[in-house]
Amino acid sequence: MEQLELEVRALREDVKALSAQLDGVVTPKLMNTAQCAAFLGKSPDILYEWRKERKGPPFLHISPRSIMYDRDTVISWAQSHEVK
């Protein structure tokens, strides 16, 4: 049990450090695929696969060549996949 507690504490510290790094980063309200992929720490190819499989964050299909992601929706989607 002690090992698990140590790992959870280490993860919390990692999250705090990442949060501090992101404080200075401005993310647009609507993100294109590349911006959303960078925001999630994934590749644009992964987002493309997720769209095909309807597995990833919700997106706006503006035109055949224009896909946008709402930042707040992406955050909500990511939080809904949090394991507690």
Structural domain boundaries of the chain?
Answer: 26-80
* pLDDT band for position 64 (cuts 50, 70, 90): confident
Beta bridge partners of 11: none
CATH code, 26-80 = 1.10.10.10
Residues 1-7, mean pLDDT to the nearest whole number: 80
pLDDT above 90 as % of the chain: 56
Write down the H helix ranges in the chain. Answer: 2-22, 33-40, 44-53, 71-80
- Give CA separation, 58 vs 10, 21, 39, 45, 80, in Å: 31, 26, 14, 16, 12
Residues 57-62, mean pLDDT to the nearest whole number: 94
Q: How many residues does the chain have?
A: 84
